Amino acid sequence: MKRRTGMRAFSALFAVLLVSMGVVPVMACNPLEPGNCTGYSFTESSGVVDDSNIVVSSDELTGDVKNAAIAQALSDTAVQRLRDGLLRDGFILSTKQIQAIKGVTTNESMTVTTTLVTMPFIKEASDEKAFLVFASNELGSEARAVVAHDGMISYLRYDPAVVGLTEDDDGLVCDFCLYAFSRICGFIADTGCGVGCFNLCIKPTHPLIIIGCAGACALACDYFVAHGACNWGAQQACEGAGLC
């Protein structure tokens, strides 16, 4: 597995996403209370969490509504610092490919409306790609940059207590990619990855889980399309994308 090492505070939260989608640890976790989950050993069969009571709906934003969502994201301090860091590193924001989606998640205890803005960055004459992802809803807001280069993935976050950007390492993105492989390929064949990834990622409702899922899904989609990886096995495709 080729992935840079770093802080692992993100992993416990992202693990709950897998619980909500049917990949279940030995210790059962409530996907609406991600802070309660710590240690994990995943299986894919017995004890599957029933999320059939969670309903999601979404729409891709356009026109003035899209511009307002992008403006909200760009006004966020973390987004500004992450964007500036990527630009200093030689990345270029692909403005025309910025995507904004709004969705509603309804479960037994709450209804949450989430706005997700995904900003792709590219480097000229390089295979490096990055996605800056911002999610906001009634539970708060979060932003991360996900960078892919030479088969390695880095998650960057802004920490006001630290000079510069901090690197997080999520050891569970491989599990996510292997689980979601067939779904992602279905999105590619159907309506595209944007809305499909969003609907997959907003079931847990927590913004930190949403952006981790959305970043990994965006990278997987980009790689699968560019390399025809949906014709491969899940392990080979996810390793090629740098997620495993």
Amino acid code (one letter) for 44: E
Please indicate, yes or no, if residue 38 is contained in any of the structural domains: no
Please indicate, yes or no, if residue 1 is contained in any of the structural domains: no
pLDDT along the chain (244 residues), means of 10: 40 42 41 43 37 82 95 94 92 92 88 93 84 92 85 80 63 72 85 78 81 83 88 89 81
Q: Which candidate, 170, 133, 130, places its Cα nearest to that of 3?
A: 170
**pLDDT tens for residues 171-188?**
567 777 877 788 889 888
Query: Number of folded domains in the chain?
Result: 1
CA distances from 60 to 3, 8, 101, 183 (A): 32, 32, 4, 19
Contact 34, 204 (CB under 8 A): yes
Residue 50 is predicted with a pLDDT of 53
In which domain, by residue range, is 136 found?
55-240
Please indicate, yes or no, if residue 147 is contained in any of the structural domains: yes
Task: Give the predicted TM-score (pTM) of the model.
Answer: 0.76
**pLDDT tens for residues 104-136?**
999 878 899 999 999 999 888 777 888 899 999
Please indicate, yes or no, if residue 195 is contained in any of the structural domains: yes
Please indicate, yes or no, if residue 212 is contained in any of the structural domains: yes
Please indicate, yes or no, if residue 163 is contained in any of the structural domains: yes
Please indicate, yes or no, if residue 65 is contained in any of the structural domains: yes
Residue 136 is predicted with a pLDDT of 95
Q: How many CB atoms lie within 10 A of CB 183?
A: 15
Contact 167, 153 (CB under 8 A): no
Please indicate, yes or no, if residue 26 is contained in any of the structural domains: no
Burial (CB count <10 Å: 0-12, 13-18, 19+), residue 196: buried
